[in-house]
Amino acid sequence: MSAWLCRTVAGGFGVSNNSSPQGQIFYANFTASQQPYAVYAVDNCQGAENVGMGTVPGYVISNLQGGKAITDDMVGSGNIIQAQCFRRLHQ
């Protein structure tokens, strides 16, 4: 599981962003048995919670656009990033 939290907002003046600290409190509640999980900071979000157009400096591929990083995290990206989401067949 991965989390994507806006660290900075594009233009940032006068924009209140509580999503990062609130998200960090939320994800801190997961127990060790529910990990691993990753919490990524996203810079230059287009609003307090819009990570899609921001950049993710701490991701495997540095400074990747937020939407692309989320997609790659879910479905994988070649040999660099292993898919986290995949279809499970009922048996």
Using DSSP's 3-state secondary structure scheme, residue 77 falls into strand
Question: Which residues fall within 8 angstroms of residue 44, CB to CB, at 6 or more apart?
Answer: 8, 9, 10, 53, 54, 55
Question: Which residues fall within 8 angstroms of residue 10, CB to CB, at 6 or more apart?
Answer: 44, 45, 46, 53, 54
pLDDT score for 9? 77
pLDDT one-digit tens code per residue, 24-82: 788 888 766 666 578 888 888 887 778 898 999 988 887 889 999 888 888 887 777 77
The domain spans of the chain are 2-75
Is the entire prediction scored with pTM above 0.75? no
